[in-house]
Structure 1
C-alpha cells in the first residue's frame, strides 16, 4: 500500500512538473529552453523525406525520423512554427502512436513516452512554407537563423548539431542539390527520387536543399570537383563566368586549408546561383547559395563587380570553417562567424588580386558601411543580447559585417598576425563540429599571447558607437555623441601640411590629445589606422579643393572623399561644393574602386542633402559630366559607373532622350559599355518614373525584347509601382502589407523604393506610418535582412520635416517597442535627424 501511495505521489509530482514545463514554453526558442535542451539532448540525426509537387499550390508532404539521446527523463520539446493541423502523426519506430501537446509553436512529448538513452520519433507532417522560397519552377530553403522550425519539427538551436539524411521526390525535369552528395537517383515517368548522403554534424540553420529547373556544370580545379547550378540564359555570361567561379572557389578553399591547417571539413562544394536571392550568399555546406547577378558578369564588368564576386565567394567559403565547422553557441554571437568570414575573405582577396591596393579595398569595404550605422542613434555593440531566437534576425547588419572586421584588424595588430593565426587554429581544433562563444575564444587568445585583452574587449566589442574626431588648433578632440564621455583608444596617422606634407602617427588615449598642427591637417587618418567619424578642417577643405587629384595614393584620395562626405553629414561642407569637387576631380581618377565609392556619395548627397534650388542649379552640369564620362575614350572601366549615376540623377528632357535611345539601341555607345537585359529593365524603370506617358510602350518593348524569364517575372511584379496613377501605386503599396504578396523580398524592396522615390516623396508620405506599423510583422515573417531593407527602401527617399515628425511620433507612441527594431528605425531615419533636428530644437526654444 505504501509503495502504491508513493507511486501515485510520484506520478502527481511528475504531472505537476510537466505542467510547469509546458507553462515555461513560449513562442520562439527562448534562451532558457535552449540551455535545458542542450543539457539533456544529444546525438541527433534527422532522416527526412519531402515530396515536392510541380504545382506550387499543392502541399509538400513530408516525414522526419528523429533519432536522439535523452540524458534525463524529462519532457522533450520540439520546435514547429506551423499550424497544429500540419502535424499528421507522431509515432514510435514500431508504429505506436505517441501522444503529444502542441503549444506556442512547440510539440511537447511527456517523459512516460520516452526513455533514457536512444529514442526514435517518426513525425509525418505538411512542410511549412514560410521559408520555402517557392515559385512555379524553383524552390529553395533558407532557414537562418531560426527558420528550420518553420519548415519541419526540430530542435532549432545552433548548439544542438545534427546529421541530416535527406530523400527528395521532385518533378522529373527538375534537379536537386542539398548539403550531402547525391548517392542515388531513381527515375519514374513524372517524378524522380534523390537520395543524399548523410551530412557531417550541422546546426539546423545550415540544413538546405534547392530543387527546380537548373542547368548544371562542373569543373575540376586544383584536385576538386566544383559543381555549379544556375538559371542564367546569356551564353556570353555563362562562358565568361563559369571558369572564374570554379577557379575562385578552389582558390578560397586552398587558402583556408593553408591558413587553418584543416582540410575542407565537408564532403562536397556546390555553387547554387539563385536569381534575386535575398542575400549576397549563404554558407550551407554542399549547397552554397549566391545571388546570380553577382556571379554572372558581362565581359566588360568593372573591377568593382569582379571583386564583389570574389569577395562573396571568399566570404561564404571561409564560413565552412568559421560558422559551419565551429559554430557559435547562441545567436548573440552571430558576429563571431561573420567577422572571421569577412576577415578571411579580405586576406584571400589579397592573394587573388595582387595588383590591387588592399589597404584601399579594406577601407572601402568596411569603413563607410560600418559608420553608416555606427554614426547614428540606432547603433549597437558588436556583441548583442538575445533572449529568444525569434528575434535573432534583428541582430544582423552593418556592425557585425563591417565594424567587426575593423576591430579584428586592430586586434591582429595588437597581438601579431602569427599569434592570431595560431589562436584561431587552436580554436577550430578545440571545437571542431561543435560550438564555442566569444568569451571562450578571447580567453584562448589571452592564453596564446599572454596579453590581457579585456579593456580592448570592453570598448570595441561590448560598447556601441563611433567617436567623432576633429582637429582643432590646440589638438585632436574625440567626442562621444552619446553623452557618455567614452574614449576609444587607438592610433591615427595624421597628414598635415606645414611647409610640405608630413605624416605623424599619434596615439589617442583621451578626449583631447595635444597636437600643435591640428588646424593644418590635410588627412585626419591617411593610413586608416583608427576608426571614427573624422571631420575635415577648414584648411583641409581648401587644400583638397586644389590638390585632391594630386594625392599619389588612391587610399589617400578615398580617405579624402570620406572626410569630405563626413563634412557634409556634420554640416561642415556644403553638398553643392562636394558635387562640384566630383566634377572637378573625378575625370582624373582612374581607380575604379575610388570612383564607385565617390559616385555613391554623389548620389546620396544629390537626392538627400541638396535643397531643390541647389539641385536645379547643378543639374545640367552633373548630367553633362556623366554623359561625357560615359563617352570619354580614355575613361576605361569606369564608364558603366557613370552611366548608372546618370540613370539615378537624370532629369532633363535631353538626358532622358539620351537614355531612351540607349534602351532602344539607337544610341552609339563605346564598345566597352555593355547594356544587358538587366540594364534595359533599369533604364525602363527610370524613364517611366520621369515620364509616365511612355508607361505602356515601354512595357511592351521590355516584354518583347527581354528573354530571361526570371527577369521578366521581376519586371511584371515591380512595374505597377511606377504607374502614373496614384490609385495603382496605392494598391501596390497596400498589397505589400499582405504577407502572401511578399514571397520575393528583393522584389518587394524594389517596389517600395520606387513608390518612395525622391520624385514621388510628397505623394508617398502617407505610406510611412503604415510602413512603420508593419515592421514587427515584417520581422516575424521575413528573412534576416528584410526589416532593414524594408525601412531603407521606405524611408531613404524622404527628406521632409513632416516625415521626420511621423517617425518620432511613432517611436513616442510605442514606448515599449522592441529595442532592436527601434534601433533599425533610428539608423534608417538618421538622414532625417541630420536634416531637421537642429530646426526642431530651434522651434522648441521659441
Structure 2
C-alpha cells in the first residue's frame, strides 16, 4: 500500500519528481530506474581521432517518472530515445551536475521494462583516460581505463559500481588489428577491409570493469591455467613475457585454493600497455598493465621481480575482491584495494619466501600520510573522481594494515573461513563494509564493527603511552606543532614485557582514554606490538627504553625494525630528542641482520630534509662513519648467492652515500656505473643504475644530459626508459630546462609526464626556474597529461620543504586550482605537508646540526 501511494503522489506531481526520488544523494542516479543489460556497438580506428557508437540499455522503471538519467562526458548524442513494445519515446537531453545527463519525456513513463537507445559520437582521448590512444614504435593502439568514473567517456551508461549488469560488445575496426574485450569472441566478420567482432555476453559487471583493446598486438599463450589465457603485447614484444607466463599458473592456483572457488570468468588475458596512468587495472578477464611490469628478462634479478609478481597477484586477487564481489559505492573502495593488497602479500609470502614479504611492515607506508591534519578517513563521502583519488594510497596501505591486524587477532584459519563465506554469500553482487564486518564478527571474539569504525571512519591513529605505574593511555599521534582534533580508538595491544627478570605477554584492548594494567607496573621494559602487526605508535619512559635496548634480542627482526621506525616517529612528534633516537639507531646499527640494517639506512635517509649548505659536510661525515663499512663489506658487484635483503641493503647504502656522502671513491664508481648503463643497460642492475645516474646528473659535468637523452631515445624498453628518467636530477639551469621540455617529446608517453616533472622539481633547491616553466607551458600540460595527474599536480610536484618554494607554489596554483577537479584539495594537502616540513625543519635543524658535530668530533 505505501508503495502505491508513493507512486501516485509522484505521478500527480511530476514537477516535484526530483523531490520524490531523493532517497539517493544528488551525485548518484536516482534508484527508481534499474539497468539490467547493456549492448554497446563501436566503430573505431586507432589511426583516426573520431569514433562512433550505438548502445541499447535494457532497464526497468520502478516508479512513474518523466525522465531518465545517465552519465556521459564529451560525447555528442545524435539520438536518445526510450523503446517500449516496439514504439519510440523521444527524449530531450539536458546536462546536470556530476556528469549526469537527463533524458526528458513529454509524457509520464509508467513503471515497466524499456530500452534506452543512444546513438553518439566522440573523440579518442590522447592522454590515458576512458578510451585512449597509445602510440608506440610508430603504431597506434587503443586501450581503455574506466576506473573510476571514466567509462562515461566511451559510452553513455549507468556508470556506478552498484549497477552491476551483463554487457555485450560489438566492435568494428580495421581488419589488420587485434580486437579484445572481457569475454571470448562470439563471431568475427570481415568486409571491405573492416572487421566486426562480437563478444560473448559478460557476467554481471560494473561499468568500470568493462574493457577493450584494439591494435596490432602480438601474443603468447599462458598454459596451465584453469581457463584459457594469453598475454598480449605491442607488435614484436611477446617474447619478453616468458617470466610472467611461467609464474601465473601457480599464482592463480594459490588464489583459487584460498577462496575455495575457481577463477570466476571464461578467460584470463593480460595486456602490456605502453601508455598507462596507473600500474595495472583489474578489468574482468582482460587485465591491463604498464608494459614495464610484463615485458621483462627471462629471469629478472631478485630485486627486479618482486614488483611485477606482486602487481600480477594483486590484480588477480581483484578478480574475486572487487570483480566477483564489488563495493556498492566508491566510499568503500578500500574493500577492493585493501583486500587485493593483503591477499597479494599472503600469496607472495607463500610462493616466494626468498622475496621477504614477511618482513614488510605495511603500515609504515601509511603512517606519514595518515598523520597529516588534512587527511580524510579511508571511508569518506565520495561525490566525484577527485574524491576517489583523494588519499587513494591509504585504501591500499592502511586498509591492508588493518586487515593484517584483524587476521592476527582472529587467527588465519577462522579469517579464511570468513572470507570464503563472504565470497559465497555476495558473489556477483555488491557489498558495503558492514557486510564484511558481519562475517568477520562471526569468527572473532571481539566487536569487529566497533573496532573497524574507529580505524576506517576517522583519520589518523593512536599514540599509546605506557607509564611506570602501569597506566596505559592513548592520544592521537601528530607531528610536533600540528593541530589535530582529539580522537580515540579501540586499540588491540599484544604486549611483551620484562618484569623481575621474567619475559611475559598480555593481550589488552584499550577502548578508552586510559586504563591501569597492574601487571605492567614497574616493568623493566614494554614492547606492545607483537610481530609489528598493530596500527599505532607507542612510547615508554627513557629508563624503560634503555632497558629494552640492552635486551634487544628479545625482539625478532620485524619488531626491531618497528622499534626503530617508532623511535623516529617519536622524534618527529617531539616526544623524544635526537640523542634518544640516536641511541636506538646505534643499537640496531650493530645488528647483523641485513633487514635490520636496511631499516637503519632508511632511518638515516629520514634526516635528509634537515640537510642544507650549513651542515651538508657534517652530514656527509656522519654517513661515512655509519655506511662506509657496509659499502666496503657489500661491494658493488652482485653475487650469485646474495639474498634479496643483501641486494636491497647494497642499494640503500649506495643511494645515500652517492647522493649525500661526498666520498670520491663512491662518486667515481657511481659515474662509471652510469656510463656503463647508458651504453649497455644489462651491464648494471636497475636497482643500482638509477642512483648511479642521479649521482652523474647531480655531480657530473653538464655534458651528461646528452648521454642520458641519447640512451633514452635509443631504447624503447619501458624499464630502461624509466630508470634513465628517474636519474635526470640535473641542477644546471640549461639542463633542467631540457628535462622539462622533454615532457612534450613524442617519445615521452603522456602518462609519464608527471614523473618527469617530479624528477625536475627535485633537481634544484630553489624552484624559480621550475615555476617559470610551468607558468609558460601549463596549457600544453593540460592538453597532454591525464586529468587525474593535472588535478594531483600540487601533491606530486609541489610538496617542498622550502618556504620560498611554498610561496612560488601558492602564486602558481591560486589562479588555477578552481578550474581543475581535485586541484584545490591536492593543493591543500601539498601546502599543509610543505608547511609542516618547514616548521619541523625550523624546530629540529639546529639540534640536528649540533648532534652531527658532536658525533663527528668523537670519531
Report the TM-score range of the alignment, normalised by the length of the smaller protein: 0.7 to 0.9
Distance 1:811 1:535 in 2: 40
Give 1:330's aligned residue: 329
Contact residue 468 and residue 535 of structure 1 kept, 8 A: yes
Contact residue 768 and residue 794 of structure 1 kept, 8 A: no
Give 1:101's aligned residue: 93
The alignment status of 1:437 with 2:397, answered yes or no, reads no
Give 1:589's aligned residue: 593
Contact residue 377 and residue 826 of structure 1 kept, 8 A: no
Match of 1:615 among 612, 619, 624: 619
The alignment status of 1:59 with 2:12, answered yes or no, reads no
Distance 2:238 2:541 in 1: 52
Distance 2:114 2:429 in 1: 20
Deviation of 1:172 (Å): 4.7
Q: Tell me, what secondary structure is at the counterpart of 1:278? A: coil
Deviation of 1:200 (Å): 0.9
Deviation of 1:11 (Å): 14
Deviation of 1:77 (Å): 1.4
Match of 2:250 among 242, 247, 251: 247
Write the deviation string for residues 388-434 of structure 1: whole angstroms up to 9, x where unpaired: 23444234523321222333344445555555444444433343322
Deviates most, 712-721 or 188-197: 712-721
Q: Tell me, what secondary structure is at the counterpart of 1:202? A: coil
Distance 2:755 2:440 in 1: 44
Give 1:6's aligned residue: none
Give 1:394's aligned residue: 389
Give 1:175's aligned residue: 178
Deviation of 1:285 (Å): 0.4
Give 1:90's aligned residue: 80
Distance 1:11 1:382 in 2: 37
Change (3 A) 1:713 1:838: closer
Give 1:661's aligned residue: 672
The alignment status of 1:32 with 2:35, answered yes or no, reads no
Give 1:843's aligned residue: none
Match of 1:377 among 373, 380, 396: 373
Change (3 A) 1:224 1:583: farther
Write the deviation string for residues 93-113 of structure 1: whole angstroms up to 9, x where unpaired: 789793422313444222347
Q: Tell me, what secondary structure is at the counterpart of 1:314? A: helix
Give 1:153's aligned residue: 156
Distance 1:727 1:349 in 2: 42
Distance 1:583 1:573 in 2: 16
Instruction: Work out the number of aligned pairs and report it.
Output: 799
Give 1:702's aligned residue: 711
Q: Tell me, what secondary structure is at the counterpart of 1:762? A: coil
Deviation of 1:203 (Å): 0.5
Q: Tell me, what secondary structure is at the counterpart of 2:208? A: helix
Q: Tell me, what secondary structure is at the counterpart of 1:563? A: helix
Give 1:110's aligned residue: 104
Change (3 A) 1:543 1:583: closer
The alignment status of 1:124 with 2:148, answered yes or no, reads no
Q: Tell me, what secondary structure is at the counterpart of 1:490? A: strand
Change (3 A) 1:152 1:554: same
Change (3 A) 1:180 1:680: same
Change (3 A) 1:505 1:196: same
Deviation of 1:781 (Å): 8.6
Give 2:61's aligned residue: 70
Deviation of 1:466 (Å): 0.9
Q: Tell me, what secondary structure is at the counterpart of 1:381? A: coil
Deviates most, 225-234 or 810-819: 810-819
Deviation of 1:688 (Å): 2.3
Match of 1:693 among 693, 699, 702: 702
Distance 1:64 1:577 in 2: 63
Distance 1:707 1:230 in 2: 17
Deviation of 1:80 (Å): 1.0
Contact residue 159 and residue 330 of structure 1 kept, 8 A: yes
Contact residue 410 and residue 445 of structure 2 kept, 8 A: no
The alignment status of 1:199 with 2:210, answered yes or no, reads no
Distance 1:133 1:544 in 2: 57
Write the deviation string for residues 249-293 of structure 1: whole angstroms up to 9, x where unpaired: 3433x22442xxx33222111122334643333211011123333
Distance 2:192 2:573 in 1: 67
Write the deviation string for residues 96-146 of structure 1: whole angstroms up to 9, x where unpaired: 793422313444222347673132403121145243342223332111111
Contact residue 216 and residue 228 of structure 1 kept, 8 A: yes
Contact residue 721 and residue 729 of structure 1 kept, 8 A: no
Q: Superposed, which structure 2 residues align to 1:757-768 within 5 Å?
A: 757=762, 759-764=763-768, 767=771
Distance 1:580 1:450 in 2: 36
Q: Superposed, which structure 2 residues align to 1:732-743 within 5 Å?
A: 732=740
Contact residue 131 and residue 142 of structure 2 kept, 8 A: yes
Contact residue 384 and residue 395 of structure 1 kept, 8 A: no
Write the deviation string for residues 554-596 of structure 1: whole angstroms up to 9, x where unpaired: 22332233223324433535399769958983883344xx565
Deviates most, 467-476 or 572-581: 572-581
Give 2:451's aligned residue: 456
Contact residue 265 and residue 320 of structure 1 kept, 8 A: yes
Contact residue 339 and residue 404 of structure 1 kept, 8 A: yes
Match of 2:165 among 153, 162, 165: 162
The alignment status of 1:752 with 2:761, answered yes or no, reads no
Change (3 A) 1:360 1:748: same
Q: Tell me, what secondary structure is at the counterpart of 1:155? A: coil
Distance 2:522 2:815 in 1: 45
Give 1:844's aligned residue: none
Deviates most, 778-787 or 416-425: 778-787
Give 2:280's aligned residue: 281
Change (3 A) 1:464 1:507: same
Contact residue 285 and residue 324 of structure 1 kept, 8 A: yes
Distance 1:234 1:582 in 2: 49
Deviates most, 498-507 or 434-443: 498-507
Change (3 A) 1:556 1:709: closer
Q: Tell me, what secondary structure is at the counterpart of 1:665? A: helix
Deviates most, 316-325 or 498-507: 498-507
Contact residue 31 and residue 389 of structure 1 kept, 8 A: no
Give 1:47's aligned residue: 40
Give 2:855's aligned residue: none
Write the deviation string for residues 143-166 of structure 1: whole angstroms up to 9, x where unpaired: 111111122211111111232222
Change (3 A) 1:50 1:393: farther
Distance 2:101 2:269 in 1: 34
Write the deviation string for residues 469-492 of structure 1: whole angstroms up to 9, x where unpaired: 344434444222434252433213
Change (3 A) 1:546 1:818: same
Is there any run of 5+ residues in structure 2 with no aligned partner, and where? 1-8, 478-483, 846-859
Contact residue 179 and residue 209 of structure 1 kept, 8 A: yes
Distance 1:11 1:333 in 2: 32
Q: Tell me, what secondary structure is at the counterpart of 2:801? A: coil
Contact residue 408 and residue 533 of structure 2 kept, 8 A: no
Q: Tell me, what secondary structure is at the counterpart of 1:754? A: helix
Distance 1:42 1:236 in 2: 43
Contact residue 327 and residue 432 of structure 2 kept, 8 A: yes
Give 2:537's aligned residue: 533
The alignment status of 1:469 with 2:433, answered yes or no, reads no
Q: Tell me, what secondary structure is at the counterpart of 2:676? A: coil
Distance 2:203 2:770 in 1: 51
Change (3 A) 1:483 1:61: closer
Give 2:563's aligned residue: 560
Q: Tell me, what secondary structure is at the counterpart of 1:224? A: coil
Distance 1:570 1:222 in 2: 50
Deviation of 1:623 (Å): 7.1
Q: State the TM-score, normalized to the length of structure 1.
A: 0.79
Contact residue 804 and residue 833 of structure 1 kept, 8 A: no
Contact residue 66 and residue 120 of structure 1 kept, 8 A: yes
Distance 1:346 1:436 in 2: 23
Contact residue 162 and residue 203 of structure 1 kept, 8 A: yes
